[in-house]
Amino acid sequence: MDKQYDVVVIGAGHNALITACYLARAGLSVLALERNPWLGGGVTTREIVAPGFRHDVHASAHVYIQANPLLLQDELGLLARYGLKYIYPDAIFSTIFDDHSAIVTYADLDRTCESIAAISPRDADAYRRFVALSKRLLPMLTAALYVPPVPQGPFWALLDQSAEGRDLMHAMQKSVLDLVRSWFDHEKVIVHLLKFTSEALVGPEEKGTGITLYTMPGFVHTYPSGMPEGGSGALVDALVRCLEDHGGEVRANTEVDKVLVENGRAVGVRTAGGETFRVRTAVVGSLHPWLLDRYVDGLDPAVAANARAVQVSSYAPAAVHFALHATPEYRAGEEAGRAFLTGMAPSRLEPFRRVFDSFRYGQLPRHAMMTALVNSRHDPGRAPPGKATLCLWGFMPFALADGGAEAWDARKEELGDWLLGHYRHFVTNVDDACIIGRRCDTPLDVQRSSPSFQRGDVHGIGPYLYQFGGHRPTPELAQYAVPGVEGLYLSGCCMHPGGGVFGGGRATAIRMLDDLGMDFEKVIA
């Protein structure tokens, strides 16, 4: 007889595990099944280059999760009981320009304005005003980020009732470039802000993405951006400890290929190996909308068609991970180089914009649009004594003009050489003798690492206005339940509030516990 659980969770990324932990804390028996040999999805830390060098394979910066009650109120005890500890670098993001000047965004607003003022005093004053606006909007935004989204109609009606709400409505419909040009003058300041927002896989001229710029400064100067001690995957380690402490189970190397549906209700899952796991209450799936009808037979045709029609981001990341004999030294100086995220970009706006044009045509850009992370600088335990880790995180087209996405396999090492060559313009000491080893991950490799990362989009789907809030990923699926299949719920990066490390699995748990007639506040009390 198949073993039964109250809930089976498909996937063990951080969102799925967060949902599982809340449900287990509520007293439900929970099993999480992960296809990979490792846990964490996009939040994982492993020795992938050389022994003793611990690399974040995907996400490193934990920004938006810092405002989530999951951490802010430590609702699951991850900080107090399960060993999670954050490091908060004071220099969060820098842009080093090709002439070796730089701007640094610090957690401290005054220091940030000083850095901007060294290039443009007028823009430093404008930035201070812009941060004040962002902070005024922040409570409205954070109140909606970690709970099920309000339907779009009431949401827009609410915004339309105040001047600040209408400002936000306008910002959400514009591009990041539209907004930044309306506030700032100096090209380097504009490029710096656009480079930071582009980390969300948002091209600067994509309409309907302006909310990215509005939220960034408010978060940065209110909630410090962190990195878990020991690596990004330490968050997942704490979640697994929490889940198991409440009686839950996690299994790796177990790929689910079908949700079992009987009489319009999800009753379990089947694995690729032929095992079945039955449920008494629900199935939770970290399922990309494009794949939903592969996992679930008999979906409403309109629900399935709309899910297949969602759009991913317009470009994808590639990463080259290095084990080094020494910490990189930057020509721009130690201050810019010690930022948590050290970005590199052209000094002028036109070549910066043309980089994103290249992605549309499947071409490598003339300028490498990349960010360097030397996590061992802030967390020495990530590398052996005296050594260093380095990740070059660059933007690329998913499909190349010559050969499509499959062509990346033959060009993997070429990609590594190309990014390293551009990086050496900015540093003095990363020569061949400094490099112990490296691993190159192309956008195609990113897709292969998780079914949630279609076309290499580590955020699941694009952060466009028509896929925002109560319409993410589609209006039918935005409330985390799959219409027509009772007891089937969704969690993961494709759902509100979005990709990246948000901790959005909390909202799925709220919806499920409400459906079960359980008081979420009592569960976390």
Q: How high is the pLDDT of residue 479? A: 97
Condensed to tens digits (0 to 9), the pLDDT of residues 295-336 reads 999 999 999 999 999 999 999 999 999 999 999 999 999 999
Q: How high is the pLDDT of residue 168? A: 84
Average pLDDT over residues 55-79: 97
Domains, the chain: 4-45+231-311+457-524 (3.50.50.60)
Work out the end-to-end distance of the chain between its first and last CA atoms, rounded to an integer number of angstroms.
Answer: 37
Average pLDDT, the chain: 96
Which backbone phi and psi does 91 adopt, to 5 degrees?
-95, 110
Q: Tell me the C-alpha distance between 374 and 55, whole Å.
A: 10
Q: Write the burial class of residue 288 (CB in 10 Å: 0-12 exposed, 13-18 middle, 19+ buried).
A: buried
Q: Tell me the C-alpha distance between 381 and 204, whole Å.
A: 36
Q: How high is the pLDDT of residue 159? A: 87
Q: How high is the pLDDT of residue 2? A: 66
Condensed to tens digits (0 to 9), the pLDDT of residues 159-180 reads 899 888 888 888 889 999 999 9
Q: Coil, helix or strand for 30?
A: strand
The enclosing H or E element of 237 equals: helix 234-245
Average pLDDT over residues 33-46: 97
Q: How high is the pLDDT of residue 200? A: 87
| Cα–Cα separations (whole angstroms), residue 320 to 192, 210, 420, 443, 501 | 23, 30, 8, 11, 21
Whether residue 380 is predicted with pLDDT greater than 50 in this model: the reply is: yes
Residue 202 confidence class, pLDDT cut points 50, 70, 90:
confident
Q: Tell me the C-alpha distance between 376 and 384, whole Å.
A: 9
pTM, two decimals, is: 0.97
Q: Coil, helix or strand for 256?
A: strand
Average pLDDT over residues 183-199: 96
Q: Tell me the C-alpha distance between 523 and 246, whole Å.
A: 12
Average pLDDT over residues 3-24: 97
Q: How high is the pLDDT of residue 1? A: 46
User: Token pair for residue 414?
Assistant: 């070429």
Condensed to tens digits (0 to 9), the pLDDT of residues 109-120 reads 999 999 999 999
Residue the block writes with tokens 């790929």: 255
Whether residue 53 is predicted with pLDDT greater than 60 in this model: the reply is: yes
Q: How high is the pLDDT of residue 132? A: 95
Which backbone phi and psi does 321 adopt, to 5 degrees?
-100, 130
Is the omega angle on the peptide bond into residue 473 within 30 degrees of 0, that is, cis? yes
